[in-house]
């Protein structure tokens, strides 16, 4: 069995190979080399792979994406339509996303942003007791990540809802689905958390019309993808007061260009696509387990439905 790694942006590909080799001692591993020959690889393990990989390696049985979101892989024009695409399922990312969301939520709900301002002016001032029932949280996307985020937030007693494509039932979470369910979901949501996958249906979903359906002074946390957000609509909503704060981890262009208005906006917090890091040990264990099952002719979870884009 030959496994090819093409992990764009990670100079430590050898560490992935070492970890996979330890679990699959009989397998052969290679790192993608644009100038190299065809390897007749059986599996590819990738992140934003080059288009040439799929024209050269035509015998692949499956491609593993070392992230939850497959938008960067599905957009590769040479990706064969029938090639199974398998993404990471949680693999330690959901708990990180929950931590990130709670931290961003508490900027407002526990007044941390306000206290920073008071510290800057040397003021000892206790703000009114926070009312948890007024900090309604709504999570767009109730998959591997969104569900964990919603459950974590609900666990702290915030009234929590979630929105998905198909109807879902989750204890302690008010659930909404489909376009018909969106207006009622937005109307009850003060803090909107986006953990949708990027698909043709969800691109630009965070726009002026959506912001207008949130209660005035709402907060946005975007940990999905930059292409979900219409940047100018966010700036306009913050300037008008329709939105009060935004915490953004993902951007249309990454790294976020130095001259982008988000960097300096007083109501925006920027982090460099780090809400959840891919954890090598967890990811390798998951991928190796799936390769073993595929080799045994069994089915595996996390297979992307190409028609719906996630």
Please report, as ranges, the residues that interact with ligand OXD according to CB under 6 A. 67-69, 93, 276, 278
In a 3-state reduction of DSSP, which class is residue 210? helix
Distance CA 6, CA 91 (A): 19
Q: Using CB distances below 5 to 8 A depending on partner kind, what does residue 166 bind out of ligand NDP, ligand OXD, none?
A: ligand NDP
C-beta of 242 vs 278, nearer to ligand OXD: 278
Distance CA 276, CA 289 (A): 22
- Which of 54, 62, 69, 175 is the binder for ligand NDP (CB under 6 A)? 69
Assess 226 for contact with ligand NDP (CB under 6 A): no
- The dihedral through the CA atoms of 301, 305, 308, 309 has a sign that is positive
Binding to ligand NDP, residues 264-303 (CB under 6 A): 273, 275-276
* Three-class DSSP labels, 259-278: CCHHHHCCCEEECCCCCCCC
Q: How far is the CB of 11 from ligand OXD (least distance, A)?
A: 17
Assess 145 for contact with ligand NDP (CB under 6 A): yes
Q: How far is the CB of 51 from ligand NDP (least distance, A)?
A: 21
**For residue 262, is the peptide bond before it cis, meaning its omega torsion is within 30 degrees of 0?**
no
- 2, 110, 252, 273: the active-site residue: 273
Assess 185 for contact with ligand NDP (CB under 6 A): no
Assess 186 for contact with ligand NDP (CB under 6 A): no
Q: How far is the CB of 113 from ligand OXD (least distance, A)?
A: 25
Assess 247 for contact with ligand NDP (CB under 6 A): no
Characterise 204 by phi-psi region: left (phi > 0), alpha (psi -120 to 50), beta (else).
Answer: left
Characterise 141 by phi-psi region: left (phi > 0), alpha (psi -120 to 50), beta (else).
Answer: left
- 56, 87, 165, 225: the active-site residue: 225
Q: Using CB distances below 5 to 8 A depending on partner kind, what does residue 165 bind out of ligand OXD, ligand NDP, none?
A: ligand NDP
Q: Cα–chain-centroid distance for residue 23?
A: 28
How many CA within 13 A on the CB side of residue 158?
Answer: 28
Distance CA 9, CA 281 (A): 18
Please check whether residue 199 is in contact with residue 309, taking contact to mean a CB–CB distance below 8 angstroms.
Answer: yes
In a 3-state reduction of DSSP, which class is residue 191? strand
Q: How far is the CB of 143 from ligand OXD (least distance, A)?
A: 11
Annotated active-site residue 165? The verdict is no
Q: How far is the CB of 260 from ligand OXD (least distance, A)?
A: 19
C-beta of 111 vs 282, nearer to ligand OXD: 282
Q: Cα–chain-centroid distance for residue 51?
A: 23
Annotated active-site residue 265? The verdict is no
Q: Catalytic positions, please?
A: 225, 273
Using CB under 6 A, list all residues that contact ligand NDP: 68-69, 93, 141-146, 163-166, 168, 195-199, 201-202, 223-225, 249-250, 273, 275-276, 310
């Amino acid at each position: 069995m030959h496994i090819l790694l093409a992990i764009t942006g990670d100079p430590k590909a050898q560490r992935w190979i070492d970890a996979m080799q330890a679990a699959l001692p009989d397998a052969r591993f290679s790192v993608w080399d644009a100038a190299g020959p065809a390897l007749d690889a059986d599996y590819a393990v990738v992140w934003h792979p080059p288009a040439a990989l799929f024209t050269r390696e035509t015998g692949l049985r499956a491609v593993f994406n070392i992230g939850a979101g497959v938008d960067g892989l599905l957009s590769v024009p040479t990706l064969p339509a029938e090639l199974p695409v398998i993404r990471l399922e949680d693999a330690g990312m959901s708990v990180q996303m929950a931590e990130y969301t709670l931290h961003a939520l508490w900027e407002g709900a526990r007044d941390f942003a306000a206290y920073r301002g008071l510290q800057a002016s040397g003021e000892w001032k206790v703000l009114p007791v926070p009312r948890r029932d007024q900090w309604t949280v709504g999570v767009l996307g109730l998959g591997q990540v969104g569900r964990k985020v919603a459950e974590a937030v609900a666990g702290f007693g915030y009234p929590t809802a979630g929105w998905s494509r198909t109807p879902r039932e989750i204890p302690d979470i008010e659930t909404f689905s489909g376009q018909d369910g969106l207006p009622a979901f937005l109307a009850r949501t003060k803090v909107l958390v986006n953990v949708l996958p990027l698909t043709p249906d969800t691109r630009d979903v965070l726009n002026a019309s959506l912001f207008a359906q949130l209660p005035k002074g709402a907060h946005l946390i975007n940990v999905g993808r930059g292409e979900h957000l219409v940047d100018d609509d966010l700036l306009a909503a913050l300037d008008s007061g329709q939105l009060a704060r935004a915490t953004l981890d993902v951007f249309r262009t990454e790294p976020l260009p130095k001259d982008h208005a988000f960097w300096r906006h007083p109501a925006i917090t920027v982090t460099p696509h780090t809400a959840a890091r891919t954890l090598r040990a967890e990811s390798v264990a998951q991928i190796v387990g799936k390769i073993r099952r595929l080799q045994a002719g069994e089915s595996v979870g996390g297979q992307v439905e190409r028609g719906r884009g996630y």
